[in-house]
Structure 1
């Protein structure tokens, strides 16, 4: 079973080009790491609004262990949005993608554009895993009341980091955003973390020059 970070990566990378197609992948993965840890009982938001580590792990999953290690070793307790900003600056993308390669879900091809510029492409070996993720999201969009907390967490990441077009391209952006925001808000165990992702992205987008700093690899 793939985790939230892996689901985000599968949705973000185009099957044909093998390249990232979403604008805030670092923030999507950072939020996914926090939510994965929260769903696993490793972290909570305490009464002060800060993230507290309850179970230091390890989890033995690419990207998740790196996030948990940083939270566990931090001398400063942060609110969820601050942790999203911190983890967005960590390269969670590479271990997640390479983990999917090891599971034989993706293949990694190294190519050169114009014979000079190196490009890494991650394409599906088979699309069954990604198709199952999209099918869950489709069901959640059509029947939000029947969605589970893990699907709601993924929906929250999608709505917070502008992934609607990559996740459900056949539907209108605004409708997906509204449905997925409301879905995530219905689960108290993830609500504060999803709000943290939303705030972190908003703060980044308000920073001068942020449009040129977004990674698209």
Structure 2
């Protein structure tokens, strides 16, 4: 089963048993960034100089991506300058909801509803079918832990995870110092094609700045 970069980030973030999202704030930016980067890879969007431009509005035939593309187009048309950081800030919450809904529709996670303290509604998304996530984690391990050469999609995902400092959800139980240098090298390398590489740089810089600000606010 093929899933988008945003869905891959979401799968890594959701705890398999409890369905609770780990690293929620940073993961939300990475999910939105992954969805935007997916549109870049599919030649629907160009990202350069901190701005996003639609280059092709034809459907991708994937509901999740087509919805984001439509919303991005409407948003960009109302602005003289469509900045990447502004779009990600606007889209992160709705992108997460749309991505989780897509994972439910694909049968990869299941929605469970609870009431915290008997009053407040809570939704969780434990794993229903782990085959896609297992393949994903195996692919990340081959590249990051065992030195395999990444393809464009894997290098893009690793760059997103590194930019958002989500090393822990990608490699739970593995010391940060063991994975961070390799992920940084991939994020800064020349694996991806030129347009995709530029988009990775833009989104990685945005997420790194937001993550740093979030950490500073919590200290």
- The TM-score with structure 2 as length reference comes to 0.84
Equivalent residue in structure 2 for 1:92, among 88, 91, 95? 95
Equivalent residue in structure 1 for 2:206, among 200, 209, 213? 200
Query: Structure 1 residues 64, 137: closer, same or farther in 2, change over 3 A?
Result: same
The alpha-carbon deviation at position 203 of structure 1 amounts to 3.4
Segments of 5+ residues of structure 1 without an aligned counterpart are 213-217
Q: Distance in 2 between matches of 1:8 and 1:91?
A: 15
What are the residue-to-residue correspondences of 1:130-209 with 2, within 5 Å? 130-144=133-147, 146-185=149-188, 186=190, 187=192, 188-205=194-211, 207=213
Structure ranking higher in helix proportion: 2
Q: Which secondary structure state, in structure 2, belongs to the residue aligned with residue 28 of structure 1?
A: helix
Q: Is the 8 A contact 1:13 1:21 kept in 2?
A: yes
**Which structure is higher in RCO with an 8 Å CA cutoff and minimum separation 6?**
1
Query: Structure 1 residues 163, 12: closer, same or farther in 2, change over 3 A?
Result: same
The alpha-carbon deviation at position 145 of structure 1 amounts to 5.0
**Corresponding residue of 1:215:** none
Q: Distance in 2 between matches of 1:104 and 1:197?
A: 29
Query: Structure 1 residues 19, 53: closer, same or farther in 2, change over 3 A?
Result: same
Segments of 5+ residues of structure 2 without an aligned counterpart are none
The alpha-carbon deviation at position 98 of structure 1 amounts to 1.2
Q: Distance in 1 between matches of 2:214 and 2:155?
A: 32
Cα RMSD of the aligned pairs, angstroms, is: 2.4
Are 2:69 and 1:68 equivalent residues in the alignment? yes
